[in-house]
Amino acid sequence: MELKGTAIEQKGRAKVSTLLAIEKDIQAEWRENRVFEEDAPAEFDEKTKSKYLVTFPYPYMNGRLHLGHTFTLAKAEFAVGYQRMKGKRCLYPFGFHCTGMPIKACADKLKREMELFGNPPVFPTDDGNQENTPTKPDDSGHGDVIVDKAKGNKSKAKAKAGSAKYQWQIMQQLGLTDTEIASFADPHHWLGYFPPLAVQDLKSMGAKIDWRRSFITTDVNPYYDSFIRWQFLRLKERGKIMFGKRYTIYSPLDQQPCMDHDRSAGEAVGPQEYTLIKMQILEPFPAALQNALGRKVFLVAATMRPETMYGQTNCWVQPEMTYIATEHKNGEVFISTERAARNMAYQDMTAEFGKFVKVELKSDGKPLTGQDLLGAKLKAPLSSYPHIFALPMLNIRGDKGTGIVTSVPSDSPDDFAALRDLKNKQPFRAKYGITDDMVLPFDPIPIIDVPGYGNLSAVTACEQLKVVSQNDREKLAEAKERVYLKGFYEGTIIVGPHTGKKVQDVKKVIQQELVKSGEAVVYMEPEKEVISRSGDECVVALCDQWYLDYGNEEWKNQVRQSLAELNTYSDDTRKNFLAAIDWLHEYACSRSFGLGTRLPWDEKYLIESLSDSTIYMAFYTVSHLLMKPFDGSETGPAGIRAEQMTPEVWDYIFLADAPYPKDSGILEATLRTLKNEFNYWYAVDLRVTGKDLVPNHLSFFLYNHVAMWPDDHTKWPNSVRVNGHSLLNSEKMSKSTGNFLTLEDAVQLYSADGMRLALADAGDGLDDANFAVSTADAGVLRLYAWLDYVKDVKVKGEVLLVDRTELTFNDRAFENDINAKIQLTEASYEKMMYKDALKSGFFELQLCLSRYREFCGADGLHRGLMDRFFEVQTLLLAPICPHICEHIWKTLLGHKESLMSAKFPVAGPIDHKLVQATEYLVHSLHEYRLKLKSYLQPAKGKTVGPAKPTHAIIWVAQSYPAWQTVVLKTIQGYLAKGDVLPDNKDILNDLKQDAEVTKHMKKVMPFVHMVKTNYEREGVKALKSELDFNEREVLVENLTYLKSTLELEGLDVRYSSESDDAKLREELCPGESRIVYRGGSV
Query: What DSSP string describes 174-185?
Result: TT--HHHHHHTT
Q: Do strands 531-532 and 263-265 pair parallel, antiparallel, or not at all (unpaired)? A: antiparallel
Neighbours of 546 (CB within 10 A): 22
Q: Do strands 520-526 and 271-282 pair parallel, antiparallel, or not at all (unpaired)? A: antiparallel
Q: What's the CA gap between 458 and 1031, in Å, rounded?
A: 69
Comparison of pLDDT for 1040 and 232, the residue scoring more: 232
Comparison of pLDDT for 899 and 996, the residue scoring more: 899
Mind listing the pLDDT tens digit for each residue in 172-220? Answer: 988 899 999 999 999 999 999 999 999 999 999 999 999 999 999 999 9
**Is the four-CA dihedral 777, 779, 785, 788 of positive or negative sign?**
negative
Give the angle 229-230-236 at the CA atoms, nearest 5°: 90
Residue 989 to residues 690, 965, 983, 984, Cα–Cα distance (Å): 57, 17, 10, 9
Q: What's the CA gap between 252 and 112, in Å, rounded?
A: 18
SS3 324: strand
CB-based contact 174:744 (threshold 8 Å): no
Kindly report whether the peptide bond that precedes residue 526 is cis, defined as omega within 30 degrees of 0. Answer: no
Task: Provide the pLDDT for residue 2.
Answer: 46
Residue percentage of the chain with pLDDT more than 70: 95
Mind listing the pLDDT tens digit for each residue in 600-623? Answer: 999 999 999 999 999 999 999 999
| Burial degree of 125 (CB within 10 A; 0-12, 13-18, 19+) | exposed
CB-based contact 308:408 (threshold 8 Å): yes
Residue percentage of the chain with pLDDT more than 90: 74
> What are the φ and ψ backbone dihedral angles of 786, each rounded to 5 degrees?
-65, -45
Q: What share of the chain is helix, strand, coil (3-state, %, to 5)?
A: 45, 15, 40
Please check the confidence at residue 8 and state whether its pLDDT lies above 50.
no
Q: What's the CA gap between 1077 and 1082, in Å, rounded?
A: 9
> Pick from 426, 488, 487, 700: which is nearest to 583 by CA?
700
Task: Provide the pLDDT for residue 853.
Answer: 94
Task: Provide the pLDDT for residue 779.
Answer: 93
129 pLDDT band (50/70/90 cuts)?
very low
**For residue 604, which amino acid is it?**
K
Neighbours of 359 (CB within 10 A): 18
Q: First-to-last CA distance in the chain?
A: 66
779: enclosing H helix or E strand: helix 773-794
Task: Provide the pLDDT for residue 144.
Answer: 32
CB-based contact 608:620 (threshold 8 Å): no
Q: What's the CA gap between 203 and 205, in Å, rounded?
A: 5
Mind listing the pLDDT tens digit for each residue in 67-97? Answer: 999 999 999 999 999 999 999 999 999 999 9
SS3 803: coil
Q: Do strands 448-449 and 492-493 pair parallel, antiparallel, or not at all (unpaired)? A: antiparallel
Q: What burial letters (b/e) apply to 624-660, b meaning 16+ CB within 10 Å?
A: bbbbbbbbbeebbebebebebbbbebbbbbbbeeeee
Residue 175 to residues 1, 74, 123, 402, 744, Cα–Cα distance (Å): 10, 26, 19, 45, 13
Task: Provide the pLDDT for residue 12.
Answer: 65
Residue 480 to residues 412, 452, 454, 691, 745, Cα–Cα distance (Å): 7, 14, 15, 30, 50
CB-based contact 80:54 (threshold 8 Å): yes
591: enclosing H helix or E strand: strand 590-591
Which residues sit opposite 271 in a β-bridge?
Answer: 526
Task: Provide the pLDDT for residue 739.
Answer: 87
Please check the confidence at residue 811 and state whether its pLDDT lies above 60.
yes
Average pLDDT over residues 669-684: 97
Mind listing the pLDDT tens digit for each residue in 988-1038? Answer: 888 888 888 888 888 888 888 888 887 887 788 778 877 889 999 999 999
**For residue 342, which amino acid is it?**
R
Please check the confidence at residue 690 and state whether its pLDDT lies above 50.
yes
> What are the φ and ψ backbone dihedral angles of 263, each rounded to 5 degrees?
-110, 140
Interhelix angle 187-204/743-750, nearest 10 degrees: 20
C-alpha radius of gyration, the chain, whole number: 37
pTM of the shown model: 0.81
Q: What's the CA gap between 1035 and 1025, in Å, rounded?
A: 20
Residue 488, Ramachandran bin (φ over 0: left; ψ between -120 and 50: alpha; else beta) = alpha
Q: What's the CA gap between 1050 and 1076, in Å, rounded?
A: 12
Mind listing the pLDDT tens digit for each residue in 932-948? Answer: 999 999 988 888 888 99
Average pLDDT over residues 245-265: 86
Task: Provide the pLDDT for residue 135.
Answer: 35
